[in-house]
Chains A and B, each alone.
Chain A
Amino acid sequence: MLFAILLGFAFSLFLVFAGKFFKGNFSILAAGIPLALFVYFSQFIGRISNGEVITEFHSWIPSFGVNLGFTLDGLSLLFSLMITGIGFLVFVYTSAYMKNHKYLDRFYGYLSMFMAAMLGLVLSDNLISLFVFWELTSISSFFLIGFNNTSRKSRKSAIISLAVTGIGGLSLLVGSLFLGSITGTYSITEMLSMNPEIFSNPYYILIVLLIFGAAFTKSAQFPFHFWLPGAMKAPTPVSTYLHSATMVKAGIYLLMRLTPVLGDHEFWNTTLIIVGAITMVYSAIHTLFRTDLKGILAYSTIAALGILVFLIGQGTKEALTAAAVFIIVHALYKATLFLVTGIIDHQAGTRDTTVLRGLRKVLFPVAIAGFLAALSSAGIPPTIGFIGKELTYESTFHLENMAVLFMALIIITKILLLYAGFVAGIKPFAGALPDRFVKTRMPSPLLWVPPVLLAVAGIVFGIFPGLIEGSLVKPLVSSMRLNGEEIHLKIFHGFNIILLLSVITIAAGTILYFIIKPTKKLEIWIGKFEKFSPQTLITNGWTFFYKFSNIWTNIFQNGYLRNYVSTIMVFTIVLIGYTFFTTATYSVDFNTFSPITVYEAVTSIVMLIAIGYTVFTRSRLAAVAAMGIIGYAICILFVIYSAPDLAMTQFSIDTLTVILFVLVLYKLPKYLKLSDYKMRIKDGVLSLAFGTIITLLILEVLAEPKNSAVSDYYAENAYILAHGKNVVNVILVDFRGADTMIEISVLAIAAIGVFALLKLRLKKSDQR
C-alpha cells in the first residue's frame, strides 16, 4: 500500500522534469495512474467483504511511536475506491477541460499529489502520519484553489481555505498528541481497546473538541463552512474532486474512523447532531439565493456534509449505514453535477442559472447525466439516492430525543437539496433554447463520458443495491465495530410512514422548483446579511490582527537606535531594580574595603571632570581630548591596583584611538546638540538610573565571597607548566593561546575593513 501512496507523489515529482510531455495530446496518459490504483484497490473488495483487514507496517520514527502503519478495511476501502475512481474520471475530464493550458502539467502534478495525500490519509493507521497526510491535502488544495494565480480573488480564497483547514490540522495534531499520551500509542487499531481509559480521562471533552475542530474545518461545518464556496474559484475538475467528492469528506472520514475510539458518548453524539443539523439547514437555505451553478453546488455540498455529520452523531447502526450509503450517493451525483456544470461553463461560457435554458438540444448526453444526477440527488426511485434518503429518514425517525424536530429539519434540508439538484441538473437543459446558445457545440467525449458514467452508476446501484451492499456498505459498518451482517439494502421497504415522508419531500421539492426561480434580486437580498456571517467576522478579526501587529511592530521596530537602547535600558532597570529591591541583603561592610588614598581621590576627580567635559562640551576636539583623559585616568587606576600589563595596553590603545580620531576629526561632522532640552533630561534620568543600578549591583556583588579556583590554577601552574612568571602574559599566549590568535584575526579583519573603507571610491551614481 505504501507503494500505491507513493506512486502519486512520484508522478508529481516526475512531472517536474517531464511536464512538457504531458501538456499536449498525451495528457490523457496521466489518467493511467488513478486507473491503475483503482484496479489495485478493487482487487481487495473480495477479501474485505469476507471480513478481512489488510495491514501493512513500516517503521518511520519508532522512538516517537510514529510509524507508517496502513490499514485497509471497509471504511478505507470505500474512500480509496472513491479517490481513485473519481480521480480517474477527473483526470480524463481534465485532459479535455484544460486542453492546451499553459500549466496543465503543473495542474496534474498538484492533482496527483493530492490524490496520494488523500490515499495516505484514509489508509493511515497512525494518527501522526494521518496528520501529515491531512496537512498535505490542505496544501495541495491551496495550490489548486489558487491555480488561477493571476486572479486576486483566487489567491484570497486559497489563503482563506488554507488558513481554516490549516488551523484544523493543528487541532488534529494536538488532539492526536493527547490521545497518544493517554493511550501510549498512536495506532488507531491499538486505541480501539482502550475505550474506557479514554472515556474516563478528564481531558476527554477537550480531545473530542480538538478532533471536531479538525473535522469541522475540513468538512466545512458551520461556522467554518465559508471557505468552501470560496474554494469554487478553482477550476471545475478541482471542485469536483477535492471540494465535493473526496477532500471535504476527510473530516467525515476522521469522525467515522474515530467513532469506535471516541464515539458513543453523550457529548460526542449531541454536538455532532446539533452542528450537523445547523449546517445542513443553514446551507440548504442558502442554495435558494444563489444564481451561480457552482455556488449552488457548493452550498448543497456543505448541506450534504452536514447530513453526514448529523448521521454520524446519531451513532446507531442504522444511522451509520445511512451515512455509508449517502457517502456513495453524494459522491456519485455531486461529482456528476459538478462535471456537468463544468461542461456547460466550458461550452456555453456561463454558469448563470438565470440565463441557462434548453441546452438539451445541443448537449444531449450531458443533459441525460444531469437529469439522472438530479433524480438521485432528489431521492427519486429507482436511484441510489432514494435508498440513501430512506435510510436517513428511518434512522432520524428512531432518534431518542426530539425526533420530531430533527425529522422536520432533515425533511426541510432534503426538500431544499432536491430544489438545488433540479436547478443544477435539469434547469439548464429544460425549456426552449435561447439564441445565444444555438452555436454551442458538443464537447469531446472525454468531457461528457465521465459524468454519464457516474450518473448511470447511481441508477445501476439503485436498481441493484446488492452491488454495493456486501462489497462496500457492510464492511464499512463492520469496520466501525458494529455488526454489519443484518444490513439489507433494498429499494422498496413497503408502505410505511417513511415512504409517505419521502413522497411529501419529493412533491414539496418539485413544487418549490417550479415556484422559485433563481434571480439576482434574491442573491443581492441575502448579500445584506453578509455582515453577520462567520466569514465577515473572521475576516474582520484578521484585519484587526494585521493592524495590531503593524502597531506592535511600529512601536518596537521603529528604526531609531536610541529607542531600541532606551527600551532595553528601561526593561533592564525595571527587571534588575525589582529583583534587587526585593531580594538584596544590603549588607555592605565598608570595613572590608581599603581606605581611599590621595592618588585615587585625585585620579577619580580628574576622571569625573573629564567625563563631564566629554558629555557637555560643544567642541569635538575637546570631547576627544577629554575622552583620552578618561582613558589615561583608568590607566593610572590599573597602575595603582597592580595591573601593569593593563596599564600599558590601555595607555597605548588610548593614545592610538585619540590619534585616529584627531586624524579624521576635520572630516567628521560638527558636534552639534541635536536633541531638545526635554529629551536630554529624559535621557539623563534614564542613564543615571542605569548607572546607579550598576553601582548598587557592584556593591552587592562585592559583599559576596569570591570563587578564585580558576585564578589559583593559573597562578600555581604559570611557571611550572608554561615557564613564564608574568601570569597574565602566560594566560594570553599559552593557556588561552588559541583565543588570542583568533583575537588577532579579528583585529586583522577590522584593519582590512578600515583600509577598504578608506580606499573606497564611490561612483558618481552612488553618491547623493
Chain B
Amino acid sequence: MEVLLAIMIGVLYAAGIYMILRRSLVKLILGIIILGNGANLLIFLLGRVVKGSPPIIPADSDVFQSIYADPVPQALILTAIVISFGLQSFAIILVKRAYKVVKTDDLDEMNAIDKDS
C-alpha cells in the first residue's frame, strides 16, 4: 500500500505545481492547497503507516501494550492543516480584493500594472 500512497503523493505534488504555474490567481490558490495536502501526506507516510492502532493509550493501561501509529507526524500534520487554513482563507479574500481593485486575475497583467504605477 505504501507504493500506492507514494504514487498518490507524487501525483498531488505534480498537480499542485502545475496549478501554481498557471496564470490564473484562483488556480494558484488551488495549487497551493493541493501541494499542501501532498506535503501532509508525505510527512504522514514517512512516519510509517499502521492500520487500526491509533496513538491512543488503552483505557485499562498506562502505556502502550502493542504497536501504535507514530503520534509525532500526526501532531505536525494537525498543526499544518490548521495553519494552511489560515493561509488559504487569507489568500482567497486577498484575491477577491485584488480582483476588485485591478479587474484582472492574470498574474502577468498584474505584474504589468505594478510596473506602471
Binding site for A on B (CB under 8 A): 1-28, 30, 33-34, 37-38, 40-42, 44-59, 62-64, 68-72, 74-75, 77-79, 81-90, 92-97, 99-108, 111, 113-115
Contacts and interface: CB of A to CB of B under 8 A. Distances in A.
A526 interface: no
B62 A720 contact: yes
A694 B75 contact: no
Contacts of A743: 79, 82-83
A188 to B, nearest CB: 55
The SS class assigned to the A binding surface is helix
A697 to B, nearest CB: 9
Contacts, number: 281
A727 B63 contact: no
Interface of A: 559-562, 565-566, 569, 590, 593-597, 600-601, 604, 607-608, 611, 614-615, 620, 623-624, 627, 630-631, 634, 637-638, 640-646, 649-650, 653, 656-657, 660-661, 664, 667-672, 674-675, 683-684, 686-688, 690-692, 694-695, 698-699, 701-702, 706, 708, 710-711, 714-716, 718-720, 725-728, 731-732, 736, 739-740, 743, 746-747, 749-751, 753-754, 757-758, 760, 762, 766-768
A653 B44 CA distance: 18
What is the interface of chain B mostly: helix, strand, loop, or mixed?
helix
A710 B26 CA distance: 40
A566 B21 contact: yes
B48 A590 contact: no
A472 B57 CA distance: 92
A740 B20 CA distance: 29
A754 to B, nearest CB: 5
A754 B6 contact: no
Contacts of B97: 757, 760
Contacts of B19: 614-615
A594 B77 contact: no
B46 A698 contact: yes
A762 B97 CA distance: 10
B10 A732 contact: no
A38 B71 CA distance: 79
A595 B23 CA distance: 41
B31 to A, nearest CB: 9
Contacts of A710: 72
B71 A642 contact: no
B79 A667 contact: no
Contact of A719 (B47, B63, B88, B89): B63
A611 B102 contact: no
A671 B24 contact: yes
A642 B51 contact: yes
Contacts of B99: 667-669
Contacts of B100: 667
A630 B55 contact: no
10 contacts: A594-B1, A614-B30, A642-B53, A664-B96, A683-B22, A690-B14, A694-B38, A728-B71, A732-B78, A747-B86
Contacts of B83: 743, 746-747
Nearest to A749: B86
Given A692-B10, A711-B70, A634 B37 contact: yes
Contacts of A634: 37, 40-41
A644 B107 contact: no
A219 to B, nearest CB: 47
Given A561-B107, A627-B34, A675-B23, A711 B72 contact: yes
Nearest 6 Cβ contacts at the A-B interface: A691-B14, A695-B10, A669-B105, A750-B86, A691-B10, A687-B18
Contacts of B111: 559-560
B74 A645 contact: yes
Contacts of B95: 668
A309 B7 CA distance: 73
A362 B23 CA distance: 78
A754 B22 contact: no
A661 B88 CA distance: 10
B67 to A, nearest CB: 10
Contacts of B30: 614, 623-624, 627
Contacts of A727: 55-57, 68, 71
Nearest to A762: B101
A698 B6 contact: yes
Given A684-B18, A716-B64, 10 more contacts: A604-B4, A608-B8, A615-B18, A643-B44, A643-B77, A698-B5, A698-B9, A714-B72, A728-B78, A754-B93
A740 B79 contact: yes
Contacts of B4: 596, 600-601, 604
B75 A687 contact: no
A694 B13 contact: yes
